[in-house]
Structure 1
Amino acid sequence: MRHHDLVVIGAGSGNAVVDDSCADLDVAIVEERWFGGTCLNAGCIPSKMLAYTAHVARTVREAGAYDVDAELRAVRWRGVRDRIFARLDAERDEGRTDREQQDSVTVYEGRARFTGPRTLRIDGVDGAFDVSAGQIVVAAGGRPVVPGPVAEAGLPYETSDTVMRIDAPPRRLVVLGGGYIAAELADVFAETGSSVTIVEKEEQLLGPQDETVRERFTELVRSRYDLRLGREVTAVGGRPGALRLTLDDGSTVEADVLLVAVGRVPNSDGLDLEAAGIATHDDGRVIVDRHQRTTAEGVFALGDICSPVPLKHVANREAEVVAHNLRHPDDLIAADHELVPAAVFTRPQIASVGATEQDCRDRGLDYLVGMASYGDCAYGWAMEDTAGFCKVLADPGTGRLLGAHLMGPEAPTLIQPLVLAAILGIDALTLAKSPYWIHPALTEVVENALLDLGL
């Protein structure tokens, strides 16, 4: 049995753990699928590259609103797809090659599972073998959930892992799910020519978002998609390329392609964690403490396999924490998941940080609400925007920001001063009054929402 000082399971954010401080260690990285993880290969990066392309197409299509005569002749899907994945696949391959060329790093292609404390069986391309390690990092990520009626039908379906690489946009696309992945991909395919139906068990889309965002976004997209809300799929029939979904109200939906985007599950179930004494939550997430240590000595975890906030920027921060703590056991640092910003790259874009209004009510908090519309600031006039808004929630006594929510162009950028204020403890009135806010920049919508709190 070969022994390594450190073994990392997963080459997404786990790959970032192996930094220059590990040069004196014998390190192994085990990856069964792709270097770079979900984000690079089938997640946030390709989806946002597609979303930006959709934005360009939409800008041309809607140029008449600005008295510009323009015509969108086509979105060349294969050209778009090949441009995106030629770049990303090269990044993936380069990342793997760079690791393989490091003398202190061994790359194992295969699936790892625990056989005991800090011992692993690796089912590789050339057979199975065992390794042991002084320390192990579990960063095996997650995968899309596939509901029973879809899996049992035996008919083809796509997930976010596969749909961005298809050869052509379908004429009729059914998206199963109403979260951020479903919403982003629905927007992309609608802009590239697909007729989109969304089937979602909740009564509104984007369920975890603030109630104002949920309500307004759902109403905005009713004219773009066939929304089947409050519904679930009970059966999938038909044949490849001509699917028929039966819903729980007895209605049916026809589709050329079915995209399943109902959520993700951690890949913990294939690791035999119990053999190593690694405990999990009921939902399969590996239990870690604030230092990213699991319940097994010498074993850390990071990313979607354990995080309460399964986002790439969170996984990257956790990787930084693990990288430090592996090398400095007497000077541990912690990961903080209290105020994590998130964004949805749809039309319109959405960004949020902190508590929603429903969170404040559920927790019995006293709070103030400040609202401002894009259309009430001069740059909003320039954009002819009638839907965008900024909503801030603050403590009425201290002015401390409790949460912030934006819906509109550049929302993921506009929210950043609110993120900084919430984390650094800058109260809403100080944030509104102390710095200059450029006029007539779009950031005035943030300033106006802060002033609307009435502090």
Structure 2
Amino acid sequence: MKTIQNIIIGFGKGGKTLAKFLAQKGEEVLVIEKSNQMYGGTCINIACLPSKRLIIEADNGVKFTDAVNGKNQMTTMLRGKNYHMLADEPTVTVLDGEAKFIADHEIEVTTTVEEKEQYRGERIFINTGALPVMLPIPGLAESKAVLDSTAAMDQKEMPEKLVIIGAGYIGLEFASMFAKYGSKVTVLDLHEQFLPREDNDIASEIKKDMENSGVTFELGVKINRVDGQTVFYEKDGQSHEMVADRILVATGRKPNTENLGLENTAIQLTDRGAIKVDEHLQTTVPNVWAIGDVKGGLQFTYISLDDFRIIKDQLFGSGKRSLSDRINVPYSVFITPSLSRVGLSEKEAKAQGITYELKKLPVAAIPKAHVLKDPRGLFKALIAPKTGLILGVTLYGAESYELINMISLAMKMKIPAAILRDQIYTHPTMSESFNDLFK
């Protein structure tokens, strides 16, 4: 059994960045990835980048098959670039295979040629990501019409009729995108309330705009079973059935701990099946860390990158950086127009009894929105009356995914809203809306 200084299981964002950093420090690194189609991780291969590429192509009027071909060319290029970023380092070995723990610091790797190799790691970093959740609906898993989010982006033909199970953020992105390509999209969801995490006025605007773009919503439904291309469900006590070319399951993702052999270690899981970590991402076994989606919590590639920063600070810094530093993490939903938020919503502020001053601006009041030919949406901001600091901002409108980062920075640096209000911005831009939003 060979001893390796650093073993990283999974070629995701945090793991690959850590591998590159350790290599530049002259340390030995073994990176294990079970699929040569996943070099670089989930984001560049099957999630953020390919999905956003398809969304943008839909907005640009590109045919679906042409967009898929272009997306595949992009991911192939990025995958190769990521592989060589690590494999070309003299102290890094990229091994194709599936890793399984046989002891706290020992793993067995079944390679792609079915050989078994064993390694002992002085440090081990688990970076195996997450998997789509398949609901236990009778007939769902057996249906040949069923897609997960990965398969949905690799269809050879655009589905004429698409049923999406789940009206969460991922489901809405796909609904918005496929409707733009010309699919007849119906979204089924268990919950009566649409986007319950968001303020009612924001959720109402989004639902109205998506319905106007051709998406049909059936909320408060119970799906009884799936038979081939037919979904059988109940709503308001009545039975319904819907036939679709494809059925996309968008009901979330779960930490990928399957077949890791954690039962052979003292590594513990949370109640939700994620690897349990402390504030510094250490598992319940010393010198074993978990990075990214596999540890639970927010499933964003930028969170995985920040996980790397925490571990880097432990190994080569002051060791002070921790999960508790993550306050007011922004997120964006790439529907059209996009939804972005950071900090408190009005609904959350009321629930917590927090006093706030509310600012609202319809996107139609922003000149750049008319230049972009999309004046839909609403911007909202919550300000602390005594300090003038920003408590939270929700931006539903064009280019919100760029604007939200400026708000996030202002909140982190405790910059009062008045500074953004009085800032000189270029024109015409969406960012100049802050002159009016924070009036």
> Given the two structures, how large is their TM-score scaled by the length of structure 2?
0.92
Q: Percent identity?
A: 27
The Cα shift of 1:165 comes to: 0.9
User: Which residue number corresponds to residue 290 of structure 1?
Assistant: 279
The change in CA–CA distance for 1:151 and 1:93 in structure 2 (over 3 A counts) is: farther
The change in CA–CA distance for 1:31 and 1:21 in structure 2 (over 3 A counts) is: closer
Question: Structure 1 residue aligned with 2:322, among 334, 339, 342?
Answer: 334
Any conservation in 1 of the 2:6–2:124 contact (CA below 8 Å)? yes
Question: Structure 1 residue aligned with 2:234, among 248, 252, 269?
Answer: 248
User: Which residue number corresponds to residue 69 of structure 1?
Assistant: none
The code of the aligned residue for 2:71 comes to: I
Any conservation in 1 of the 2:11–2:127 contact (CA below 8 Å)? yes
User: Which residue number corresponds to residue 132 of structure 1?
Assistant: 120
Residue 363, structure 1, aligned to residue 363, structure 2: no
Any conservation in 1 of the 2:198–2:347 contact (CA below 8 Å)? no
What do residues 321-340 of structure 1 show as CA deviations (whole Å, max 9, x unaligned)? 22342345x64432432211
- CA RMSD of the aligned region, Å? 2.0
Aligned length: 428
User: Which residue number corresponds to residue 66 of structure 1?
Assistant: none
Question: Structure 2 residue aligned with 1:144, among 119, 125, 132?
Answer: 132
The Cα shift of 1:226 comes to: 1.8
The change in CA–CA distance for 1:248 and 1:364 in structure 2 (over 3 A counts) is: same
User: Which residue number corresponds to residue 45 of structure 1?
Assistant: 49
The Cα shift of 1:80 comes to: 1.7
Question: Structure 2 residue aligned with 1:219, among 195, 208, 219?
Answer: 208
User: Which residue number corresponds to residue 219 of structure 2?
Assistant: 229
The within-5 A match list for 1:398-409 is 398-409=387-398
Any conservation in 2 of the 1:373–1:445 contact (CA below 8 Å)? no
Any conservation in 2 of the 1:197–1:227 contact (CA below 8 Å)? yes
Distance in 2 separating the partners of 1:301 and 1:358: 33
What do residues 71-93 of structure 1 show as CA deviations (whole Å, max 9, x unaligned)? xxxx4322221122112113213
User: Which residue number corresponds to residue 29 of structure 2?
Assistant: 27
User: Which residue number corresponds to residue 2 of structure 2?
Assistant: 2
Does the residue aligned with 1:245 lie in a helix, a strand or coil? strand
User: Which residue number corresponds to residue 18 of structure 1?
Assistant: 19
User: Which residue number corresponds to residue 409 of structure 2?
Assistant: 420
The Cα shift of 1:386 comes to: 4.4
Any conservation in 2 of the 1:389–1:445 contact (CA below 8 Å)? no
The change in CA–CA distance for 1:127 and 1:205 in structure 2 (over 3 A counts) is: farther
What do residues 244-286 of structure 1 show as CA deviations (whole Å, max 9, x unaligned)? 0011332111101011111010102432324322222211222
User: Which residue number corresponds to residue 105 of structure 1?
Assistant: 92
Distance in 2 separating the partners of 1:380 and 1:164: 29
The Cα shift of 1:196 comes to: 0.6
The change in CA–CA distance for 1:357 and 1:93 in structure 2 (over 3 A counts) is: same
Any conservation in 2 of the 1:367–1:394 contact (CA below 8 Å)? yes
Unaligned runs of 5+ in 1: 58-74
Q: Which moved more, 1:292-301 or 1:92-101?
A: 92-101
Any conservation in 1 of the 2:333–2:339 contact (CA below 8 Å)? yes
Does the residue aligned with 1:18 lie in a helix, a strand or coil? helix
The Cα shift of 1:347 comes to: 1.1
Any conservation in 2 of the 1:199–1:231 contact (CA below 8 Å)? yes
Distance in 1 separating the partners of 2:115 and 2:225: 39
Distance in 2 separating the partners of 1:271 and 1:191: 40
Distance in 1 separating the partners of 2:243 and 2:183: 13
The Cα shift of 1:446 comes to: 2.5
The code of the aligned residue for 1:130 comes to: Q
Unaligned runs of 5+ in 2: none
Q: Which moved more, 1:252-261 or 1:391-400?
A: 391-400
Any conservation in 2 of the 1:81–1:164 contact (CA below 8 Å)? yes
Q: Which moved more, 1:154-163 or 1:437-446?
A: 437-446
Residue 442, structure 1, aligned to residue 404, structure 2: no
User: Which residue number corresponds to residue 109 of structure 2?
Assistant: 122
Distance in 2 separating the partners of 1:20 and 1:141: 20
Any conservation in 1 of the 2:23–2:92 contact (CA below 8 Å)? no
